[in-house]
Amino acid sequence: GKLRSEYRDRIYEFVETCKAADVRCSEAITDAKGHRRRRPSQQDDPDFYVRVVDRQSDGIVISGSKMHITGAPLVHEQVVLPTKSMKPGEEDYAVACSVPTNAEGLTIVNTTNAPRGEDTRHFPISHRTNMPEGLLIFDNVFVPNERVFLDGETSHAASLAHALGLWERTNAVAYSGSSADRLVGLAALLAEMSGASERADVRDLLSEMAIFATMCRAGWEAAMKNATINEDGTLSPASIYISASKYYNAELHGKMIDILHDIAGALLVTAPTIADFENEEIGADIREQLGGGDYTAEERLKLLHYVRDLTADTYGGWIAVTESLAGGGQYAQRLVTLRHYDLNEAKRLARRAVGIGGEVAEAPASASVVV
Ligand SMILES: Cc1cc2nc3c(=O)[nH]c(=O)nc-3n(C[C@H](O)[C@H](O)[C@H](O)COP(=O)(O)OP(=O)(O)OC[C@H]3O[C@@H](n4cnc5c(N)ncnc54)[C@H](O)[C@@H]3O)c2cc1C
């Protein structure tokens, strides 16, 4: 249906209110989704996608759930958006609105990858940087009109979902270069500690990681170089480079972790605890056995626990899944990349190269001679 002009005014007003009062919001997009091949209205449970269950003169009432919502219990507002495009007949599912975290009828079930009760020195990253994800359950939650940004216009459901998907992916791509550099650095330090850094095979592995890190940076730079500025002055990185880089990073991230583990060796998961190291009875033996080279045994232990926490424990598992799924899985990145890719131009080039479809075959350019 035709978009109501008041939505735009409400969105701007909401943004201004958030800016003025320093209000933090979640992006509550991903629905429970039930059976993936069925449309929202064909699910066994109609609440597998958030939907409007009642329309009143002063607002709407919504039910359903949103999953995996980053920081949900920490923010003031849950900004609910459709998870994908909706078709005619799915008007109740084409809903966007903002719901205060303490709204009546909203329950949040939290998960966390925070280490539970162990010595935080073994979890140098995850004890500081963990973030809860919430399962939001909306049970007949009333949303006043001024907080409703879409209600029933199926043709606009996807544009909201896509707009936010871009920022979710952008976040991942923006950090991918520095995260990859950190992996390269960790691998190089581990190699130094075991005296393997000059071995040809280890240098080969490090070059592979360096190429990965460089390509991650290149993808981000291309996305920013081709960014566009909309009428409100908001700068948007180029979608095609964001989705292609996100895909590339997720595709190879696991391989980079494998290389890191290969270089680290088994101590990565069998290193003694820091408490053992400090123990009066056995500490001296540990210092002796883990010493050598330019680093102390304590430095080596710290590095090993850091890498284990980052890549081979609860938080590492969370990162591995998040790399491929947050901002949409690989399937979504392929879809978005192809949508923005100029396939017609690629076909035209191919027709010209072959000399078919009315194109005259061109001699290969001299620059393409293989040397
Ligand atoms: C740490 C973390 C934080 C997140 N934070 C947020 C957040 O703040 N807000 C938010 O909204 N979401 C968030 N997400 C969710 C994230 O966006 C989703 O995980 C992602 O969109 C994939 O959805 P899914 O997990 O339901 O997997 P699915 O979409 O179910 O994908 C799983 C598999 O099913 C396949 N599949 C899916 N649909 C179909 C179909 N129709 N036909 C055939 N095969 C299909 C996929 O190709 C894939 O192989 C977060 C996820 C993680 C891991």
Q: Indicate which CATH number applies to the domain containing 270.
A: 1.20.140.10
Q: Over 50: is that where the pLDDT of 300 sits? A: yes
Convert 153-215 into a string of H (helix), E (strand) and C (coil): CHHHHHHHHHHHHHHHHHHHHHHHHHHHHHHHHHHHHHHHHCCCCCCHHHHHHHHHHHHHHHH
What pLDDT does 368 receive? 56
The number of the ligand 1 atom at minimal distance from the alpha carbon of 26 is 8
pLDDT tens by residue, 171-213: 999 999 999 999 999 999 999 998 989 999 999 999 999 999 9
Is 34 domain-assigned? yes
The rounded Å distance from CA 35 to ligand 1 centre is: 13
pLDDT tens by residue, 162-177: 777 888 899 999 999 9
Is 355 domain-assigned? no
Domain final residue, candidates 97, 117, 152: 152
Does 119 share its domain with 225? Answer: no
Distance CA 368, CA 371 (A): 9
What pLDDT does 232 receive? 82
Domain around 95:
5-152
What pLDDT does 364 receive? 66
pLDDT, average across residues 217-227: 98
The number of the ligand 1 atom at minimal distance from the alpha carbon of 37 is 41
Q: Over 60: is that where the pLDDT of 371 sits? A: no
What pLDDT does 162 receive? 79
Task: Give the count of domains, the chain.
Answer: 2
29 lines ligand 1 (CB under 6 A): yes
pLDDT tens by residue, 247-257: 999 999 999 99
Does 212 share its domain with 336? Answer: yes
Q: Which residues pair with 65 in a beta bridge?
A: 137
Is 95 domain-assigned? yes
| Residue whose CB lies within 8 A of the most ligand 1 atoms, among 101, 325, 330, for a mutation test | 325
Least trusted range by pLDDT, from 79-93, 309-323, 349-363: 349-363
What pLDDT does 216 receive? 97
pLDDT, average across residues 62-66: 97
